[in-house]
Amino acid sequence: MTHSAAASTHAAAPGTWNLGDLTVGRIGLGAMRLPGEGQADRDRAIAVLRRAVELGVDHIDTASFYFSAAHSANELINSALSPYPADLLIATKVGPGRDPSGDWYSASPGQLRGQVEENLRQLGRDHFDLVYLRRMSQPSISEHFGVLAELREAGLIRHLGVSNVDLAQLAEAQAIAPVVAVQNRFNLEVRVHDDVLGACAEQGIAFVPFYAIAGEAREQGYPARAELALDATVREVAAAHGASEAQIRLAWTMHQGPNMLAIPGTRRVEHLEENLAAGAIALGGDELAALEQASRREIYGTEIPETENPGSGAVA
C-alpha cells in the first residue's frame, strides 16, 4: 500500500528525507552483510564502504552484534571511513546482543547504556545520530525506551528510533520521547507492518525496511528461496526497465512513500552501485498496480479491486 507522508513538516529536497534536524538520502547502506571471514572479505567490505561514501551515501545502519569470527561491521566502518564525513549519519540498534561466542541475548534496561557505549567505542565516536531500540520478545518497550531517552538527554544520542514494533509499541515509545524512524521488516512478500507504515507516513516518521530485497534468505546471501508466482511479475517489470529483479524490488520499496529509507546490504561494489541506481527507476502506475496485486495474491491469496488499488499512479 502506498502512503503519503506528512511532507509539510518534513519537507526535503527530492531523494532525501529529514530525520529530525538531519537530512539523509533515501537509499543508504546496511552493514549486516559486511563482516566476512578472510582478508579478501575485509578488503571487499572496506571497498564497499568507501565507494558508498564516494557515491553520496550519507546513512549507514549498523550494530555491534553484526560480526563474524574474523571481523565486525563497526570495526570495518571505523577503519574505512574514520575520520568520518561531517554529513554521514551512522545509526545503530541496541536491545539484542551477542556474546563473544556469538550466542544471542536480550539486554535488560540496565545493559542498554553499555551497549550504546560499546558501539561508540567500536566506531570511535562520542555520540550517535540515531539509535534504535530493537524489540526482541518483550510486549512492552517503555522501560527499555526510557533508558535511551535518558541517554538522549545526556547527549550520547541525538535521535531515537524503534525496530520490530507494532502500533501499540510505537505509541508507547512516542509517549516517552520523539521517534524519528521505525525499522521493521517489509518487502513484497512480507507486509505485516502495512499499518505501521501507514502511521509513520501520516506522522512524518521515516520507515526503514529491513530485508527489503526478496526476504531474509536472499538478503543474507543464502541460496535463493523457492520460486514464487510473484517473481514472474517482478521479472516482467525488470525486463521492461532493463533492470535486475533486486532493483525493481528496491524501486517498489521507494515508491511506497517519500518517508521510505532503504538500507540494502551488500559485500560487493557492483551490487552497491546497482542498489543506488534503483532509486532512479520510475515505475509506472500499471507496473505498481501489477506488483501490488501480485504481492497481495502471494501473501493473502486474494486480489484487491482495481478501483481500490493503492499502487495505481503512486509516485515516490
Per the domain annotation, does 32 fall within a domain? yes
Is the confidence at residue 168, as pLDDT, over 80?
yes
How many residues does the structure list for the chain? 316
* Residue 43: CATH number of its domain: 3.20.20.100
Residue 304 counted as domain residue:
no
Residue 297 lies in a domain: no
**Beta strands, E only, 65-166:** 89-94, 96-98, 104-106, 128-134, 157-163
Residue 296 resides in a domain: no
Dump pLDDT digits (tens) for 239-297. 999 999 999 999 999 999 999 999 999 999 999 999 999 999 999 999 999 999 999 99
Instruction: Please check whether residue 233 lies inside any domain of the structure.
Output: no
Taking the alpha carbons at both ends of the chain, their separation in whole angstroms is: 12
Record the pTM.
Answer: 0.89
**Is residue 300 in some structural domain?**
no
Category of 149 on φ-ψ map: left (φ > 0), alpha (ψ -120 to 50) or beta: alpha
Contact partners, residue 15, CB within 8 Å, separation at least 6: 25, 26, 279
Q: Give pLDDT tens digits for 55-94.
A: 999 999 999 999 999 999 999 999 999 999 999 999 999 9
Active site residue 66: yes
The pLDDT value given to residue 49: 98
Q: Would 111 be classed as within a structural domain?
A: yes
Domain containing 263 equals 16-228+256-268+275-280
Q: If pLDDT is split at 50, 70 and 90, which confidence band does 227 have?
A: confident
- Phi first, then psi, for residue 161 (nearest 5°) are -135, 170
For residues 30-49, one letter each, b for 16 or more C-beta atoms within 10 angstroms of the residue's C-beta and e for the rest, the string is: bbbbbbbeeeebbebbbebb
Instruction: Report how many domains make up the chain.
Output: 1
**At residue 6, does pLDDT exceed 90?**
no
> What helix, strand, coil percent values describe the chain, rounded to 5?
40, 15, 40
Residue 194 lies in a domain: yes
